[in-house]
């Protein structure tokens, strides 16, 4: 293995932390560090209880815990409202318009937090359901997503999108939505992308690719992507979606196989992350 791996700021672009049902902030960060991970992009978990703002407040405390207690790891956060919240509220008897207004109000709160907090670097995850819904919910979800894009444009920050499976039509529509509110599509990150996303670079949406074996294919197409696990931190569902060690381990394996070198590692894990989130990584 290349010993220089310890000097590369290996970044996982989509992590969830849960201090109630999982290991919690400090332990997750320590496990990540022990696997040679360096930078964590952490997003608040959904509430699924109508209190859409509380998870954002919890996220802030979790990031502060990591940055104060785990040397050698740097955490940044994105705050937002998961699109499934809309369905959950409606299933709980809340009218669509009221549920939509709750989503908008929570996004306003996210905007306030981002504007006040240095280590909050974007909106996310927001978007639309990845499962079948009614036309009314689909339309409302897209309206909420467009509002989140307006916030991202106002703050000049990145936005992570949760949506249906990757397709050219999806990337085209996300590009058009971003442009309609003057948001740079390069700041729009499609979370949970697969390697096919790299076929659609002309739309400028930025892929965050799940760190499975498909990364081996992705790097043959382009280096314009970041890597994620979508780690959930739930002890009842270990390793969902992928374990917190996966991105460092996948990166090491790619180096061992000679598929990438140190320069490409820096491109994916540092340069791309810095451009997306307007940050400078110094570890």
Give the single-character DSSP code of 271: I
What are the φ and ψ backbone dihedral angles of 46, each rounded to 5 degrees?
-65, 155
Going from N- to C-terminal start, the domains of the chain cover 3-277
For residue 101, the surrounding DSSP H or E stretch is helix 96-116
Q: How much is the mean pLDDT over the chain?
A: 96
pLDDT category at 1 given cuts 50, 70, 90 is: very low
What are the φ and ψ backbone dihedral angles of 139, each rounded to 5 degrees?
-65, -45
Question: Cβ(123)–Cβ(80) under 8 Å?
Answer: yes
Q: How far apart are CA 171 and CA 43, in angstroms?
A: 22
The structure tokens 């990438």 sit at 260
Lowest mean pLDDT among 29-33, 236-240, 251-255: 236-240
For residue 85, the surrounding DSSP H or E stretch is helix 84-91
Quick: pLDDT tens for 54-102: 999 999 999 999 999 999 999 999 999 999 999 999 999 999 999 999 9
Q: Which pLDDT does position 207 carry in this prediction?
A: 98
pLDDT at 2 over 50: no
pLDDT category at 4 given cuts 50, 70, 90 is: low
- Superfamily (CATH H level) for 3-277: Metal-dependent hydrolases (3.20.20.140)
Q: Which pLDDT does position 29 carry in this prediction?
A: 98
């Amino acid at each position: 293995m290349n010993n220089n791996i310890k000097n590369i700021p290996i970044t996982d672009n989509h992590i969830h932390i849960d201090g109630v049902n999982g290991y919690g902030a400090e332990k997750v960060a320590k496990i990540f560090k022990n696997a040679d991970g360096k930078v964590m992009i952490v997003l608040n978990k959904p509430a699924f209880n109508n209190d859409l703002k509380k998870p954002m407040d919890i996220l802030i405390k979790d990031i502060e815990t990591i940055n104060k207690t785990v040397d050698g790891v740097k955490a940044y956060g994105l705050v937002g409202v998961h699109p499934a919240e809309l369905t959950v509220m409606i299933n709980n008897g809340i009218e669509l318009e009221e549920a939509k207004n709750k989503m908008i109000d929570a996004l306003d709160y996210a905007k306030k937090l981002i504007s006040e907090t240095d280590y909050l670097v974007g909106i996310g995850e927001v978007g639309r359901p990845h499962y079948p819904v009614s036309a009314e919910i689909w339309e409302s979800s897209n309206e909420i997503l467009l509002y989140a894009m307006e916030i991202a444009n106002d703050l000049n920050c990145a936005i992570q999108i949760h949506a249906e499976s990757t397709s050219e039509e999806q990337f085209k529509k996300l590009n058009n939505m971003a442009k309609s509110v003057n948001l740079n599509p390069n700041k729009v990150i499609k979370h949970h992308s697969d390697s096919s996303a790299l076929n659609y670079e002309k739309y400028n949406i930025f892929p965050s690719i799940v760190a499975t074996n498909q990364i081996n294919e992705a790097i043959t197409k382009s280096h314009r992507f970041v890597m994620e696990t979508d780690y959930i931190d739930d002890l009842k569902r270990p390793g969902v979606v992928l374990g917190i060690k996966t991105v460092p381990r996948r990166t090491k394996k790619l180096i061992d196989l000679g598929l990438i070198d140190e320069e490409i590692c820096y491109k994916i894990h540092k340069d791309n992350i810095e451009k997306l989130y307007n940050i400078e990584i110094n570890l």
